[in-house]
Structure 1
Amino acid sequence: MFTAYSYLALALSVILLCVKAFALIDCIRRRPYDFELAGTLQKKAWLVILALSVAVHLIFVSSGPLGLLNLAGTVAALVYLAQLRSVTS
C-alpha cells in the first residue's frame, strides 16, 4: 500500500534524477573552452562527477532521494548548473 510519503519520495526522486541527467547532458554538449571561461573544473572532471551522480542515483534508488550519496550528487549537479549555465548562457 502506497502512502502519501512514498508518492512524494518517488516524485522527488524522479525530479532529482532529471536534474542530474540534464546537468550531465549539458556538460557533454559544452565545449572545453566554456569551462575555462567559467573558471571551474575541467570538462573531464565534471563529466566524471556528473556521470557518477547519475549512476549512484540509479543504483541506490532504494535508499530514497534524501540518502547521503544522492544528496551529494544533487549538490554537485546544482553547483555545475549554477557555475556553467549562469556564466556561459
Structure 2
Amino acid sequence: MEQVFGLTWWIMAALWLLAISATVFALVHAVRQRSDAFTAVDKLTKPIWLGILGVAALLLLVTAPQLGLLAFISIIATGIYLADVRPKVDEVQRGPRW
C-alpha cells in the first residue's frame, strides 16, 4: 500500500509541476506583449489577464502539490490563455502566417 501512495504522490507532483510551469510561461508571455494587442483581438485587457494568471500562479503555489478545486480553476484559466488568447495576440503582433 505504501508504494501506491508514493506513486500517486509522484504523479500528482509531476502534474502540479507541469501546471505551475505552464502558468508561469503564460504569465511571462502576457507580460512581454503590447497592451493594445489584447484589445485588438477583442480579448480582456492585459492588466486583467496579468491578474488572472498571477492569481492562478499564486493558487497553484498555495495548493502544492495537492491539486484541489482552486488548482483546477487555475489550470483552466491558464489553458484558456494559452489556447485562445496567446495565439491571437501573437498573430496580431506579427501578422498572419503564410
Same fold? TM cut 0.5:
yes
Partners of 1:78 and 1:69 in 2: how far apart?
14
Higher Cα radius of gyration: 2
Q: Does 1:61 align with 2:64?
A: yes
Unaligned runs of 5+ in 2: 91-98
Contact 1:34 1:84 in 2 (8 A): no
Give the aligned residue type for 2:76.
Answer: V
Partners of 1:49 and 1:88 in 2: how far apart?
16
Q: How many residues align?
A: 87
Q: Secondary structure at the match of 2:84?
A: helix
Across the aligned residues of Structure 1 and Structure 2, the Cα RMSD in angstroms comes to 1.4
TM-score (norm 2): 0.81
Partners of 1:30 and 1:50 in 2: how far apart?
14
Contact 1:56 1:69 in 2 (8 A): yes
User: Moved runs in structure 1, 4+ residues, more than 3 A?
Assistant: none
Partners of 1:6 and 1:76 in 2: how far apart?
24
Partners of 1:78 and 1:87 in 2: how far apart?
14
Show the counterpart of 1:46: 49
Unaligned runs of 5+ in 1: none
Identical-pair percentage: 28
Show the counterpart of 1:77: 78
